[in-house]
Amino acid sequence: MVINLHPTQEQIIEFCHSNTIIDTLNVDVVPMDDGSVHLELLVEEKHTNFCDICHGGVLTTMADTAMGIVCNERNKSVVTMNLTITFIRPVNKLVKITAVPRILHDGHKTMVCECDMVDETNKLFAKAQATFFVIGDFIKME
């Protein structure tokens, strides 16, 4: 018998903050009305590179975490095997950037996801694609 467990929004939010880097970088963990959880970032001085725009590594950190979250929402606990990100436009300070992840493949052993990094007008600033290794269930049964 397969019991299909769905983590609650609260569990997902708590999980996000268990990634300490998310708080180090001031990434906002935002509960959505549809039950999902979004990662958002208001770009500040602390996130910038030498061009005074958001460092690509910060966008990568958000994309990676956001893709992990959609895996968790399917009750899979995952680690990232590899990730590719293409940077399309500079993300200036004070821009609010949101990670919009999507599952491409939900396998038993691996998951494949992609993630759009967009602003409030839905303009695309970067796009990531990654493969994850499934290490177990997100919700541990007793």
Buried b (16+ CB within 10 A) or exposed e, 6-22: ebeeeebbebbeebeeb
- In angstroms, rounded to a whole number, what is the distance separating the alpha carbons of residues 41 and 120? 11
Contact pattern for a second copy over residues 34 through 73, marking x by CB under 8 A: -----------xxxxxxx---xxxx-xxx-xx--------
Nearer to a second copy, 62 or 70 (CB): 62
Return the beta strands (E) in 2-60 as ranges: 28-31, 37-42
Does an H or E element contain 82, and which?
strand 76-87
Q: Which two tokens stand for residue 103?
A: 């599952």
Q: Hunting for tokens 């959880």 — which residue is that?
A: 37
- In angstroms, rounded to a whole number, what is the distance separating the alpha carbons of residues 18 and 7? 15
Nearer to a second copy, 2 or 127 (CB): 127
- In angstroms, rounded to a whole number, what is the distance separating the alpha carbons of residues 136 and 24? 27
- Residues that bind a second copy (rule: CB under 8 A) add up to a total of 45
Q: Pick out residues in 111-130 that bind a second copy (CB under 8 A).
A: 112, 114, 124, 127, 129
Q: How far is the CB of 1 from a second copy (least distance, A)?
A: 27
Question: Taking contact as CB under 8 A, which single stretch among the options 3-11, 30-38, 78-86 is the one that binds a second copy?
Answer: 78-86
From candidates 13, 74, 75, 83, binder to a second copy by CB under 8 A: 83
Which residues are near a second copy by CB under 8 A?
15, 18-21, 24-25, 45-51, 55-58, 60-62, 64-65, 79-89, 104-105, 109-110, 112, 114, 124, 127, 129, 131, 133
